[in-house]
């Protein structure tokens, strides 16, 4: 079951069409497709909304419109309203990361809503009263108010990330065994000597530094083979230089 299908993003009286379009894009980036708009304004620039939605135009056209927040969340169990203000009962606010597992638990069987207020005034107290949870997005005191689409993206991202919908790719190559790594280090030792990168008295010290560099991360079999190829080519070039010097004598 895709829990993200049970998440509704609700915009209350958004001012700018461009923000609505950007919200559609932010939602689709995170696999969320249920958009509701409460009291869309007659002055909304829908052309700008379509422009900013980019490849999420279908999401914009599929939006639902309601005349009140109460109607927009009537079928939702958990309703999380976002607010940058403090005071009232906002001191019990969750961060988006803290809220995500709570919301997703309910989304297993029910619709839930993420509610975002007006760009200039946010959500009114009576609208927050309809919410079961308050979300406050951490931000610097230099500027605590986020752009609407940025706020939507951050909240949707935490839901998407926590849901496990995205599975990052994993390294498929085998980790290099000690025998292969040691053959690689031997080649690099020879290369540093033959190219006169280091003198004998500092060779051991340099090799310890080289080992420390390569051992900071996981070396795979292909990694070692590339590094060995580099060392072999450098040794061949060094040999050609020596032959050229001999021929000039």
3-state secondary structure 31-96: CCCEEEEECCCCCCCHHHHHHHHHHHHHHHHCCEEECCHHHHCCCEEEEEEECCCCCCCHHHCECH
Residue 131 pLDDT: 95
Residue 167 pLDDT: 77
Question: What is the residue whose two structure tokens read 């894009």?
Answer: 25
Question: What is the residue whose two structure tokens read 């030792």?
Answer: 189
Residue 170 pLDDT: 78
31-63: b (≥16 Cβ within 10 Å) or e: bbbbbbbbbbeeebbeebbbebbeebeebbeeb
With beta carbons less than 8 A apart as the criterion, state whether 126 and 81 touch: no
For residues 60 and 18, what is the distance between their CA atoms, to the nearest angstrom?
A: 11
At how many degrees (to 10) do helices 178-194 and 200-214 cross? 140
Residue 245 pLDDT: 79
CA nearest neighbour of 103 among 205, 12, 206, 32:
32
For residues 23 and 135, what is the distance between their CA atoms, to the nearest angstrom?
A: 17
Q: How far is CA 177 from the centre of its chain?
A: 33
DSSP letters, 178-195, are HHHHHHHHHHHHHHHHHT
Residue 90 pLDDT: 54
pTM, whole model, 2 decimals? 0.76
For residues 206 and 212, what is the distance between their CA atoms, to the nearest angstrom?
A: 10
Domain ranges across the chain: 3-163, 178-248
- CATH class for domain 3-163? alpha beta
Residue 243 pLDDT: 83
| 3-state DSSP assignment of residue 8 | strand
pLDDT (tens, 9 = 90+) of the chain, 249 residues, equals 689 999 999 999 999 999 999 999 999 999 999 999 999 999 999 999 999 999 999 999 999 999 999 999 999 999 999 988 766 555 678 999 999 999 999 999 999 999 999 999 999 989 999 999 999 999 988 988 899 999 999 999 999 999 988 777 777 889 999 999 999 999 999 999 988 888 878 899 999 999 999 989 889 999 999 999 999 999 999 888 888 877 876
Ramachandran region of residue 31, left (φ > 0), alpha (ψ -120 to 50) or beta? left
Residue 165 pLDDT: 81
Residue 104 pLDDT: 96
Residue 148 pLDDT: 96
Residue 201 pLDDT: 80
């Amino acid at each position: 079951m895709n829990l993200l299908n049970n998440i509704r993003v609700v915009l209350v009286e958004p001012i700018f069409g461009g923000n609505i379009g950007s919200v559609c894009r932010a939602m689709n980036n995170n696999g969320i497709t249920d958009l509701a708009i409460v009291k869309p304004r007659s002055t909304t620039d829908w052309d700008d909304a379509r422009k900013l939605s980019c490849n999420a135009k279908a999401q914009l056209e599929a939006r639902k419109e309601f005349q009140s927040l109460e109607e927009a969340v009537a079928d939702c169990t958990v309703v999380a309203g976002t607010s940058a203000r403090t005071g009232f009962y906002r001191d019990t606010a969750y961060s988006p990361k803290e809220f995500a597992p709570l919301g997703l638990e309910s989304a297993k069987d029910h619709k839930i809503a993420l509610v975002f207020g007006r760009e200039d005034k946010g959500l009114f107290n009576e609208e927050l009263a309809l919410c079961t949870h308050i979300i406050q997005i951490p931000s610097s005191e230099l500027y605590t108010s986020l752009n609407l689409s940025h706020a939507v993206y951050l909240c949707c991202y935490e839901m998407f990330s926590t849901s496990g919908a995205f599975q990052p790719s994993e390294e498929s190559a085998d980790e290099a065994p000690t025998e292969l790594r040691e053959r690689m280090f031997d080649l690099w030792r020879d290369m540093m000597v033959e190219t006169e990168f280091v003198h004998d008295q500092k060779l051991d010290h340099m090799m310890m530094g080289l080992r420390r560099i390569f051992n900071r991360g996981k070396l795979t079999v292909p990694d070692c083979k590339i590094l060995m190829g580099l060392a072999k080519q450098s040794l061949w070039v060094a040999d050609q230089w020596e032959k050229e010097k001999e021929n000039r004598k």
